[in-house]
Amino acid sequence: MEKIKIVSQCSSHQYDALGNIVTNWDNKKCAWIVVKNFENKEIDWWGNENDFPAGYTLADYEKQYPNWDKLPDIKVTWAWNTKETCIKAFGSPHSFGKPSNYWDLQRYPYTHEQSWGYLDYTKEQAIDLRSYANFDVYADGVTIEYNGEIIYKKG
């Protein structure tokens, strides 16, 4: 059986060489889930030219994480109001491979959102996620939602 090789990905899908969607990103599960028509194929997650994150068939995921749907949905959104705070938080554009006018082209507030659906956290523990990756150090605003309820807001 020929292995399917993942050759590219975006924020929501992983693709094979023919441009077929092989997996979809699932925010609640925080995992790549193989689409139905590839569930019975062998996927080359790790190879000489392939270092994309591995995924699961839905059945394998549910076997490994049987209570996934009982865990809270946690979402943190950070906001930076100016180009200057973005530079403090993320650095000059060349440091992450972008053109020098990258921050000039962004809309402000500039936001980043991270979701966790796989953490068995209380509301109090979820509030600690505000400092994930130290994003809160220069953020002008931070909002934390727990199952859709805002439990923390700064700025």
Mean pLDDT of 120-140: 95
- CA nearest neighbour of 129 among 75, 69, 72: 75
Contact (Cβ atoms closer than 8 angstroms) between residue 53 and residue 41 = no
Strand pairing category for 43-44 and 4-5: parallel
Contact 55, 42 (CB under 8 A): no
Higher pLDDT, 52 or 139: 139
Q: H-helix or E-strand containing 87?
A: helix 83-90
Residue 51 has pLDDT above 70, yes or no: no
Query: Per-residue pLDDT for 50 more than 60?
Result: no
Tens-place pLDDT, residues 74-119: 999 999 999 999 999 999 999 989 999 999 999 999 999 998 888 8
Instruction: Compute the distance between CA of residue 44 and CA of residue 53 in angstroms, rounded to an integer.
Output: 11
